[in-house]
């Protein structure tokens, strides 16, 4: 019995270490993403490099893949991507931080509204499987984009906001869709008419982030919605204009290129 326990322990540590990534390999990977997409990526915790505590390499590949689908204007406007093992250092703002996968904080002290992403351990992935990690990054990046545009050019954001709001035909449901989404995992797959997802039915910010995610997930090919769901189709087209900078002026677009 003792021997089999020992064997199980050695095997699991061995499997965990197989996925480890060296500091050099991690830095090279980060540099590649930064240069390719003109974004800043921070992954400071050494535990990240060990597969037992979270697959940092896989998470970076996923971020790379998601950014690949996004237009340059969107990437120019998102804040630094900060990968963390826990959000426990922010308990006064997020008391239930154990359940958080990622966040962008409107009253953030750091500049450019960083995209905080949790590098989840294998245990967390087994216990809390929904929403999927790949759905979290793009959603949070969309918040960061919207906050940055609003902070840098309120007029541009307002043009988008009013167009999006005019296309949205019914009132938002507040906290209810979010509670349903968090308590019933399959609720994440529901899509009310006119909405990209149930979560988006909460308020404008969630709606615009979810609409952008929907658009990217369908590789900007949403013509099938034209007849099926004209409201969502219209919102997708408005979201696409927003992330391409079409609500801004040429001068503003040039200014945004120079990151602080």
Chain residues binding Zn ion by CB under 5 A are 206
Q: Supply the minimum distance, in Å, between the C-beta of residue 104 and Zn ion.
A: 8
Quote the least distance from Cβ 133 to Zn ion, whole Å: 15
- Tokens found for residue 157: 């954001």
Q: What is the rounded distance in angstroms from the CA atom of residue 142 to the CA atom of residue 213? A: 8
Distance CA 120, CA 124 (A): 6
DSSP one-letter code for 38: T
Task: Rank residues 217 and 230 by Cβ distance to Zn ion and give the closer one.
Answer: 217
* Coil/strand/helix, residue 43: coil
Q: Residue 13 CB, nearest distance to Zn ion (Å)? A: 36
Say which residue the tokens 């696409």 belong to: 240
Please state the closest distance from residue 209 (CB atom) to Zn ion, in A: 5
Query: Which is nearer to Zn ion, 133 or 206 (by Cβ)?
Result: 206
Distances 32 to 28, 42, 76, 257 between C-alpha atoms, Å: 6, 13, 16, 19
| Per-residue b or e along 78-112, where b marks 16 or more CB atoms closer than 10 Å to that residue's CB | bbbbbbbbebeeeeeebeeeeebbbbbbeebeeeb
Name the minimum Å distance from CB 106 to Zn ion: 11
**DSSP per-residue string spanning 187-228:** GGG---TT-S-TGGGS-HHHHHHHHHHHHHHTTT--TTHHHH
Closest to Zn ion by CB, 94 or 246: 94
Of 156 and 206, which CB lies nearer to Zn ion in the complex structure? 206
CA dist., res. 11 & res. 37, Å (int): 38
Q: Which is nearer to Zn ion, 29 or 212 (CB)?
A: 212
Nearest residue by C-beta to Zn ion? 206
CB-wise, 206 or 229, nearer to Zn ion?
206
Residue 242 phi/psi, 5-degree rounding, is: -65, -50
- State the DSSP H helix or E strand holding residue 12, giving kind and residue range, or none if neither: helix 2-18
**Which two three-digit tokens encode residue 243?**
């992330």
Nearer to Zn ion, 55 or 66 (CB): 66
Report, in Å, the least distance between residue 247 CB and Zn ion. 21
Rounded to a whole number of angstroms, the minimum distance from the CB of residue 90 to Zn ion is 16
């Amino acid at each position: 019995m003792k021997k089999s326990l020992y064997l199980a322990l050695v095997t699991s540590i061995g499997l965990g270490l197989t996925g480890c990534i060296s500091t050099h390999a991690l830095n090279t990977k980060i540099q590649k993403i930064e240069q390719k997409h003109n974004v800043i990526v921070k992954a400071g915790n050494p535990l990240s490099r060990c597969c037992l505590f979270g697959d940092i390499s896989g998470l970076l590949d996923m971020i790379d893949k998601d950014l690949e689908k996004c237009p340059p204007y969107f990437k120019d406007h998102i804040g630094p991507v900060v990968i963390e093992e826990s959000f426990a250092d922010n308990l006064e703002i997020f008391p239930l931080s154990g359940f958080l996968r990622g966040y962008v904080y409107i009253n953030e002290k750091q500049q450019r509204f960083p995209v905080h992403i949790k590098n989840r351990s294998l245990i967390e992935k087994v216990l809390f499987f929904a929403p999927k990690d790949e759905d979290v990054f793009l959603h949070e990046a969309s918040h960061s984009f919207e906050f940055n545009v609003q902070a840098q050019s309120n007029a541009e954001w307002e043009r988008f906001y009013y167009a999006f709001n005019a296309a949205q035909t019914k009132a938002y449901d507040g906290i209810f869709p979010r509670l349903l989404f968090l308590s019933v995992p399959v609720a994440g797959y529901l899509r009310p008419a006119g909405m990209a997802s149930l979560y988006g039915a909460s308020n404008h910010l969630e709606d615009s982030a979810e609409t952008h995610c929907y658009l990217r997930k369908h590789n900007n090919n949403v013509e099938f919605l034209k007849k099926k769901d004209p409201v969502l189709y219209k919102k997708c087209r408005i979201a696409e204009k927003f992330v391409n900078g079409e609500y801004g002026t040429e001068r503003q677009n040039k200014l945004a290129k120079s990151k602080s």
